[in-house]
Amino acid sequence: MTEHEPELHNVAPGEPHDNMLTETLSYVIGLGLALLLTGISFWVASTGTLWGPGVATGLVVLAIAQMGVHLVFFLHITSGPDNTNNVLALAFGVLIVFLVMIGTIVIMAHMNANMSPMPELMNLQMQKG
Amino acid sequence: MTTASEAPAVGLTHQGSEDTGLGHRGPASKSIVVPYGFWLFILSDMVLFSALFASYATLVHATDGGPATNQLFDRELVAVETLALLSSSFVCGLAMIAAKRKNMQLTQVWLLLTGLTGLVFLGIELFEFGKMIGEGAGPQRSAFLSSFFTLVGCHGAHVTAGLLWLGTMMAQIWAKGFRQDIIRRLLCFSVFWHALDIIWVAIFTIVYLIGTLP
């Protein structure tokens, strides 16, 4: 296995290959990065030293970063040519996920804001009846 | 190989072209098609979860005078849950590396560890659910709690299904050895298991951490 050593430098991170040691190392790096990002997330949420209103946004950014780590090091989604189909499918999936989530949240927030208060509505119906 | 008779294809049609859309070597092999099809299923599952996340985000303040996110969630418990699921995902990767080299003992040991850490995760989640329902914060209390139990419970149901699948795979590897089709199933299982970890990252951030911010 050692005679393939020079080729290893051409392998994208997380891409499966034949050397057991470096393959394991890819998972170890992934675990390390995921633990680091999880730790930062829990620390950011508990500490009071950061500017409060920005914490939620920071947490979402950390979560997206950790999802990226999982995709590359655990699921082996890479930029390699044999991975193009998977990446394109992922891109479409991410598009739909964001459309559903952001679309729902924006529309429901608007409808909540425009909804007339409940007691007045009840009164109106009572008067008509 | 390319001949002059091969007319350029217009749009998605292959009119006037010999091209079947399968390439010159025929359809791709099963080792490519099966994981790709399963990857599409995983992505559709993520779309399902995005709808649950959207309903949770919409209903999170609809507590109907009942308990809100701040009073319900325990961060230490969630941290242990997260660690359990993350290590489960990692050990599952090690099992795949061992399975690729047809190492029976190591594969079974790693898969068993995957299952045990998965069980730890599930146990903590069920304990949390039981505690909440015991406190009168069950899914019928408010719209917020309904959406919470739907979202987190759906993830828990996936983990349960994954554990059953894992047991099946361990038995199949034991009985049938590292056949080509068994390895493909194991690969699909590992994709499923890693994807559940990705969804959990979104859950612990959006539901538990942002929910318990001061």
ipTM: 0.82
Give the Cα separation of A43 and A48 in Å (integer): 10
Residue of A nearest to B82 (CA): A38
First to last CA, chain B: 68
Whether the predicted pLDDT of A29 surpasses 70: yes
Give, in degrees to the nearest 5, the angle at Cα A91 between B34 and A41: 105
Give, in degrees to the nearest 5, the angle at Cα A17 between A16 and A23: 70
Whether the predicted pLDDT of A9 surpasses 80: no
Mean pLDDT of A3-21: 56
Mean pLDDT of A46-59: 85
Q: Is A115 helix (H, G, I), strand (E, B) or coil?
A: coil
What is the predicted pLDDT for the residue at A128? 47
CA B70 to chain centre: 27
Give the Cα separation of A72 and A26 in Å (integer): 9
CB B188, CB A21: distance < 8 Å: no
Give the Cα separation of A118 and A43 in Å (integer): 41
Burial B115-124 (b: 16+ CB within 10 A, else e): bebbbbbbeb
Tell me the pLDDT of chain B (214 aa) as tens digits.
444 445 555 555 555 555 555 666 677 788 888 999 999 999 999 999 999 999 999 999 888 888 888 888 988 999 999 999 999 999 999 999 999 889 999 999 999 999 999 999 999 999 999 999 999 888 999 999 999 999 999 999 999 999 999 999 999 999 999 999 999 999 999 999 999 999 999 999 999 999 888 7
Residues 6 or more apart whose CB falls under 8 angstroms from that of B72 comprise B132, B137
What is the predicted pLDDT for the residue at B22? 61
Mean pLDDT of A49-65: 89
pLDDT band at A52, cuts 50/70/90?
confident
What is the predicted pLDDT for the residue at A11? 54
What is the predicted pLDDT for the residue at A77? 84
Q: How many beta carbons lie within 10 A of that of residue B139, not counting itself?
A: 17
**Which of A23, A74, A85 is the closest to B36 by Cβ?**
A85
Which of these CATH numbers, 1.20.1250.20, 1.20.1300.10, 1.20.120.80, 3.40.50.740, describes B30-212? 1.20.120.80
pLDDT band at A23, cuts 50/70/90?
confident
Chain B 31-50, residues with CB within 8 Å of chain A CB atoms: 36, 39-40, 43-44, 46-47, 50
Tell me if A67 and B51 make a contact (CB, 8 A cut-off).
Answer: no
B55 CB neighbours in chain A (<8 A) are 104
CB B20, CB B169: distance < 8 Å: no
* Mutation target among B31, B34, B47 for the A interface, most CBs of A within 10 A: B47
The domain spans of chain B are: 30-212
CB A23, CB B60: distance < 8 Å: no
pLDDT digits (tens, 9 = 90+) for A74-127: 988 877 777 888 999 999 999 999 999 999 999 998 988 887 666 555 555 555
CB B6, CB B19: distance < 8 Å: yes
Mean pLDDT of A38-53: 87
Mean pLDDT across chain A: 80
pLDDT band at A129, cuts 50/70/90?
very low
What is the predicted pLDDT for the residue at A20? 81
What is the predicted pLDDT for the residue at B95? 94
